[in-house]
Structure 1
Amino acid sequence: MTVRAVRRTSLVEQAVTELRRLVEGGEWPVGSRLPGEVELSRLLGVGRSTSREAVRALIAAGQLHSRQGLGTFVASIAPVTDFDRQLRRAELAHIYEVRVALEVEAGRLAALRRTRADISALRDALAAREQARGAAELVDVDLEFHRAVVTAAHNPVLTDLFATFLDAVRDASTEMVADQGPSPEDHKHDAHAALVQAIEDSDPQAAMAATRHNVEHTLAQLRPERP
């Protein structure tokens, strides 16, 4: 006789299961738009953070796709295959390569142009990042931290460019976490604290070095291993 152990599931896992059932059962066909976050949370009977994390799990699985300013849409009835995931990881590496270029320059400019208000915002964002609980929250607060760095650069073109790029970075970060789980480096406080300190000290070289350390760790995980 084979007996399966009873396992208590979290609300997020239950929400993921229900969303997947609706997608795979055709309740929301490919191309259709999901209800907004508030309505989806009401339908699922869970909080907004729970429904948000469930949606991100299906985005990471390739079944949903987020479009900036438009909402979340059904991309595929079934999760992506391992081969498709390998191809997607190559695309994510391209996203992070652009992120390195944007944020290294943002760190340099922030060190030269930051104001007292910028430093206060960076300190608050750093504290929020340190207190993050769960993968979805860590992705959110980490991106808010980096948005604060870009804001401190006081370059409106760079700010707008980062804003248009943010959804792609969020999806890439969410997929990374869903694929591998948060790494110890994801929670590391020292490198981010070093970036804030470099900006506060008006040290552009140190700010660039800290930014590279923060972003290139993830990029190294995405790039294929070379023999």
Structure 2
Amino acid sequence: MVTEAMVAVQPVRRRSLVEQATSELSRLIASGEWPVGSRVPGEVMLSRQLGVSRPTAREAMRALITTGQLETRHGLGTIVVSATPLPALEQRLRRAAIAEVYEVRAALEVEAAELAAQRRTPEDVDRMRHALAERGAATSAAALVEADLKFHTAVVAAAHNNVLVEVFGSFLGALRNAAEDIVADSTLRTPDEDAAVEAAHHALVDAIADGDTDAAVVATRRNVHATLVRLRGET
């Protein structure tokens, strides 16, 4: 008597281009063709080498940044830092450290936004709107981070509190590193959440320009809340 095999058969799934590109980058790292310490090609060159679009190449690099194999360094580009993915625990600890930076960011920027709504000048608002336009026009992760930091530095400057400006300035290095990790980690925010954060930036400028302190505080909190929730593992 012939019986049916009861082994569960997994459905065949076609891998996406991002998955294929990520796999190829992983192979290059594991094989030593991209040794630890080497700089990987930029998005344009990498997309040509892989035969994919720039967004696909970008997402593949982000995937390996998330696993700890690549790291974006200011002024240097993207560097190979590990031949193998980081253990899950180490990834969680890394996110916890970033969350601490963002908690401090939230505390500083909420106060700055409230004071800016009270003390801003027309020139302050112009600087914020200019930085916001640069943020919206950013075509790379590095450009986005720099434009975002420029925007928030302009908000802090509009508070016209020298001590707050000095504290925020001393904090920029840690904030830049955290922001680069967040932008690189595509699992931290959904496209809808990214859109909500973009809207919160515009709402913040409008609130400060209108002198609406309550709205400025709300917009600032909306800006960091979704990211903090993900970093803390609350979703």
1:187 aligns with 2:195: yes
Unaligned runs of 5+ in 1: none
1:172 aligns with 2:187: no
1:80 aligns with 2:90: no
Query: Residue 45 of structure 1: CA displacement?
Result: 2.9
Unaligned runs of 5+ in 2: 159-164
Cα distance in 2 between the residues matched to 1:109 and 1:190: 21
Question: How many equivalent residue pairs?
Answer: 216
Cα distance in 2 between the residues matched to 1:203 and 1:146: 22
1:42 aligns with 2:37: no
1:117 aligns with 2:126: yes
Counterpart residue identity of residue 20, structure 2: Q
> For residue 209 of structure 1, what is the aligned residue in structure 2?
218
Please report the TM-score for the alignment, with normalisation by the length of structure 2.
Answer: 0.70
| Aligned equivalent of 1:71, options 69, 73, 77 | 77
> For residue 5 of structure 1, what is the aligned residue in structure 2?
12
Q: Root-mean-square deviation (CA), in Å? A: 3.7
Equivalent position SS for 2:84: coil
Query: Residue 7 of structure 1: CA displacement?
Result: 1.3
Given the superposition, is the C-alpha separation of residues 38 and 221 from structure 1 closer, same or farther in structure 2, using an over 3 Å criterion?
closer
Cα distance in 2 between the residues matched to 1:53 and 1:183: 13
Tell me which moved more, 149-158 or 24-33: 149-158
Contact 2:74 2:142 (8 Å CA) reproduced? no
Tell me which moved more, 64-73 or 207-216: 207-216
Larger radius of gyration: 2
Cα distance in 2 between the residues matched to 1:139 and 1:186: 16
Contact 2:189 2:226 (8 Å CA) reproduced? no
Cα distance in 2 between the residues matched to 1:30 and 1:224: 30
Equivalent position SS for 1:69: coil
Counterpart residue identity of residue 72, structure 1: T
Given the superposition, is the C-alpha separation of residues 67 and 79 from structure 1 closer, same or farther in structure 2, using an over 3 Å criterion?
same
Contact 2:71 2:79 (8 Å CA) reproduced? yes
Cα distance in 1 between the residues matched to 2:108 and 2:142: 18
Contact 2:116 2:156 (8 Å CA) reproduced? yes
Query: Residue 215 of structure 1: CA displacement?
Result: 1.2
Contact 1:110 1:149 (8 Å CA) reproduced? no
Contact 1:106 1:150 (8 Å CA) reproduced? no
Please report the TM-score for the alignment, with normalisation by the length of structure 1.
Answer: 0.72
Counterpart residue identity of residue 151, structure 1: A
Cα distance in 1 between the residues matched to 2:58 and 2:31: 21
Counterpart residue identity of residue 12, structure 2: A
Given the superposition, is the C-alpha separation of residues 61 and 120 from structure 1 closer, same or farther in structure 2, using an over 3 Å criterion?
same
| Aligned equivalent of 1:27, options 27, 33, 38 | 33
Deviations 1:114-165 (A, max 9, x none): 5353464477579x49xx9xxx989976984564343244477657854773
